[in-house]
Amino acid sequence: MTETKTDLPPRGSKLHATILLHKLGQSLWLDNITRDLLDRGTLKRYVNELSVTGLTSNPTIFEHAIKNSTAYDTDIRMKLNEGKSEEQVFFELAVADLTRAADLFRPIYDRTNGIDGWVSLEVSPLLAHDTAATVAAAIDLFARAGRPNVFIKIPGTKEGLPAIEEAIFAGVPVNVTLLFSREQYLAAAEAFLRGIERRVVAGVKANVGSVASVFISRWDAAVKDKGPAQLRNKLGIAIALRTYKAARELLTSPRWTRLYSAGAWPQRLLWASTGVKDPQASADLYVKALAAPFTIDTMPEGTLKALVEETELGSIMAADGGDCEQVLAEFAAGGIDIDTLAERLQDEGTRSFAKSWESLMAVIASKRESVTKAA
């Protein structure tokens, strides 16, 4: 199929920020997946020209993709006529799209020895508080995908943490999602470590991939009218800096280095929710503030395209956390309880994904009606 033109700069122009971030050692992943992106060659061009090396998805992304396109209608009609449920239809469509994307990223996965080149598929958000069902779903989805570079997304909730450990022990690569604080990140890292340590004891390969996804912009959206003007849009970045410091310390700990010696892959830190929600802020606010080697920034297309216009980066993230504790102390002085807010954001995120899931099922059901009438 002929490649669709996009508003990217011509080949040979001055290096833009996406390439600069790649050279820095940060992975840029696209937080989007649609069949049109695949069919029209747009995703391939992002890989070739914008250094995109992976992709994430969630129920909201798929809801928009299916609702706003006719590309899925024929498949939906066929699958529904076979008597499959809306959930069965969705996972078959999602696995089909994501395995195509995984094949596109497979050369990157092979070239980087499994460090990069991944795509992510989420278990049903309705399972967020059901450990056993989450583990079973993760094992099933990874097997159905049949690709080594597919992460299964599991939320870092109280019930999700033991599911993460069990999935890792079973050899299922995991993208831990819905993390909002240093403490939640460390709990997810602990679950990953336990799973790897159990594999070492069992005498099986220790190199099971994982990333820990820390959400950024939702912090600032939650306090946008509660702090002084000079702190506007600084809370999410401060949380990221605090978490980055903890991750750097963990990656150099004796426990980690023992696992490296056993062949384990490190769990990488991933910045999620990096699209700016404040209309007064620059579209690349978080991207530039979160530039750091050996991390991942997954971003929506709008943010990715905004980076095309930039040819410079600011300073990279401070390994020691920079001024994060000072900024967090100022928010605390203003009455913001960081720990309580982190728990609230995780709970709200879980419920938001569940709501998007229900909307997704409704979209597929509505397609059932429309395609049946059109038949």
Q: Which whole-number Å values give the CA distances from 78 to 65, 84, 162, 343, in the listed order?
A: 18, 9, 38, 42
CB atoms within 10 A of CB 294: 15
* Mean pLDDT score across all residues of the chain: 92
Spell out the domain ranges in the chain: 17-370
Dihedral (CA of 91, 93, 94, 95) sign: positive
What pLDDT, on a 0 to 100 scale, did the predictor assign at position 147?
98
- Of the listed ranges 4-8, 41-45, 138-142, the one predicted with least confidence: 4-8
Tell me which of 1.10.10.60, 3.40.50.300, 3.20.20.70, 2.60.40.1220 is the CATH number of domain 17-370: 3.20.20.70
3-state secondary structure of 174: strand
Residue corresponding to tokens 């910045």: 271
Please indicate whether residue 84 is annotated as part of the active site.
Answer: no
Predicted confidence (pLDDT) per residue in 219-233, tens digit? 999 998 887 788 999
How wide is the angle at C-alpha 151 spanned by C-alphas 116 and 215, nearest 5°? 85
pTM of the model as a whole: 0.92
pLDDT at 375 over 80: no
pLDDT at 159 exceeding the cut of 50: yes
DSSP-assigned letters across all residues of 215-237: E-HHHHHHTTTTS-GGGTT-HHH
Q: Which is the catalytic residue, given 79, 153, 234, 367?
A: 153
**Judging by DSSP bridges, how do beta strands 27-31 and 119-122 pair with one another?**
unpaired
